[in-house]
């Protein structure tokens, strides 16, 4: 009986080591955009990446709301998740947090909620416009 337990333990260790060595990673953030490869549409301007210390290969376009693109990103030197909006070269913002949800307010007065779990039902004045992204007018905040 103890021989069988030892065999199971060896197999489990071998599988764990194999997954670790193969570079398999699991997206634990709840943001499905991180599960796909980055495309040209997902890229944030280099100046914003450098000013915000974002990992350049982590940015993913989540939605474009009233001509403003919103991106998910990860910090270069931490596990923090970020919401990036780029209205133009002089009007952009980055909000980061160790976990979701996080809320940011743009220069247009819209509050944007970045949350885990994909597309959720509208609630509390929030209107979901895409997976992980909801908006509401700042004046309707509760």
Tally of domains in the chain: 1
- 50-64 average pLDDT score: 96
Contact between 103 and 112 under an 8 Å Cβ cutoff? The reply is yes
Q: How far is it, in rounded angstroms, from Cα 78 to Cα 76?
A: 6
- 25-36 average pLDDT score: 79
| SS3 of residue 18 by DSSP | helix
Judged against a pLDDT cut of 80, whether residue 11 lies above it is answered with no
10/111: higher pLDDT: 111
Which tokens sit at 24?
């398999």
Sign of CA dihedral 112, 113, 118, 120: negative
Q: How far is it, in rounded angstroms, from Cα 38 to Cα 53?
A: 18
Q: Structural domain of residue 135, as residue ranges?
A: 2-140
Can you give the pLDDT at residue 108?
82
Lowest-pLDDT range, 15-19, 42-46, 49-53, 136-140? Answer: 15-19
Contact between 120 and 111 under an 8 Å Cβ cutoff? The reply is no
Judged against a pLDDT cut of 70, whether residue 17 lies above it is answered with no
| SS3 of residue 32 by DSSP | helix
């Amino acid at each position: 009986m103890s021989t069988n337990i030892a065999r199971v333990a060896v197999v489990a260790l071998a599988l764990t080591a194999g997954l670790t060595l193969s570079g398999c990673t699991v997206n634990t953030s709840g943001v499905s955009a991180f599960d796909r490869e980055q495309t040209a549409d997902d890229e944030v301007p280099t100046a914003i990446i450098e000013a915000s210390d974002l990992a350049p290969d982590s940015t993913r376009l989540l939605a474009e709301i009233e001509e403003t693109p919103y991106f998910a990103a990860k910090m270069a030197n931490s596990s923090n998740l970020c919401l990036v909006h780029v209205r133009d070269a002089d009007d952009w913002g980055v909000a980061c947090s160790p976990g979701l949800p996080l809320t940011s307010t743009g220069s247009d007065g819209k509050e944007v909620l970045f949350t885990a779990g994909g597309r959720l039902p509208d609630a509390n004045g929030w209107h979901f416009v895409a997976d992980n992204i909801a908006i509401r007018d700042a004046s309707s905040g509760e």
